[in-house]
Amino acid sequence: MGRGVGKGKVILFGEHFVVHGAPAIAAGIQNAAIVEIKKAEKNNIITKQKVVPELSLDAIQKVLDVMGVKDKYNVYLEGDLPTYGGLGSSAAFCVGLVRAVAEEKGIVLTDEEVNRYAYEGEKAFHGNPSGIDNVMATYGGIILFRKSRGESFFEKINPGKQLDIVIGFTGKLSATRKMIEKVKKFKEEDEFQWTQLMDQVSDLVFRGRNAIEKGKIEEIGKLINENQVLLSEIGVSDELNNEMVKIMLDAGALGAKLTGGGGGGCCIALVRDKIAAQGVMMALKKKKFESFATRIG
């Protein structure tokens, strides 16, 4: 028996642009994937969550290979982290799995090793992942992340206060790869505008870090709205994302935007407190959207 936990995440600022070298800010949320393992004759994934079994089994094998483990396992996925919409669930699963295998084998791993092994598992789901999800699933907290020449760099941000957010699901799975291709095409067709947008995003991310460190939630909300405008400009915010963002803002959110790949998936709303979160969730429920409240920082 072995057990491990991996945290979920949201992107507060900079998704898509981060792929091309701009900085981004990601934040761990309270929701997590809990993974338990028991030895078996072959690898199995057992869960009530929506998963793609082939990808999960591939990830399990990749993790076992990189850890040098020859045994096979029944892998049980539980926890309160939904497996939809860009919340880092696959990375959280891989991190939980690495920790569960380490516990079962009596191996002591550093967080850096957990992160490295989980990244191999992430490749089963995303081919060439940015690395941000496994970092968040391993370490949690709030980080400024940047990728340069194939290397990933991240620094911790110490928030001035905890942030209450609502995460809403559009009901449509995010077509991340498709959206990445769309952004690449946008960049190729208008290099000049793209360069301007990259500068705007970089400036926005650093203003965002400053606001988070000082606990200025109104300012964070304003910047979240600015980021949503930029995501709309590059064509990754679809009708459902736009509708959800409007509902969240009309219900009193300080800021709202898509999080992750776009083209559906999830949106986040920054709210003043837990009572405000209830108001946003009720407004979403009226329009038949699923949502839940959580905290970051």
pLDDT at 87 over 70: yes
Confidence grade of residue 86 (pLDDT, cut at 50, 70, 90):
confident
Phi, psi of 109 (to 5 degrees): -110, 145
Cα–Cα distance, 283 to 278 (Å, whole number): 9
Confidence band (pLDDT; 50, 70, 90) for 297? low
Mean pLDDT of 33-39: 98
Q: What is the pLDDT of residues 112-127, one digit of tens each?
A: 999 999 999 999 988 8
- Give the position of tokens 């992160």: 115
For residue 156, the Cα-to-chain-centroid distance in whole angstroms is: 16
List, in order, residues 6 or more apart from 264 with CB less than 8 Å away: 85, 170, 171, 172, 173, 174, 175, 238, 240, 241
Alpha helices for the chain (secondary structure H):
53-66, 89-105, 111-126, 132-139, 176-189, 191-214, 217-233, 239-250, 274-286
pLDDT digits (tens, 9 = 90+) for 144-197: 988 877 777 889 999 999 999 999 999 998 777 788 889 999 999 999 999 999
More confident residue, 79 or 178: 79
Q: How many DSSP H helices and E strands does the chain contain?
A: 9, 10
Q: Taking the CA of residue 254 as centre, how many other CA atoms within 13 Å lie in the half-sphere pointing to its CB?
A: 17
Mean confidence (pLDDT) of the chain: 94
pLDDT value of position 277: 98
Q: What is the pLDDT of residue 180?
A: 87
Q: Tokens 């559906």 label which residue?
A: 264
User: Tens digit of pLDDT for each residue in 206-250?
Assistant: 999 999 999 999 999 999 999 999 999 999 999 999 999 999 999
| Average pLDDT estimate for 25-34 | 96
Residue 295, number of CB atoms within 10 A of its CB: 15
- pTM (2 decimals)? 0.90
pLDDT band at residue 60 under the 50/70/90 scheme: very high
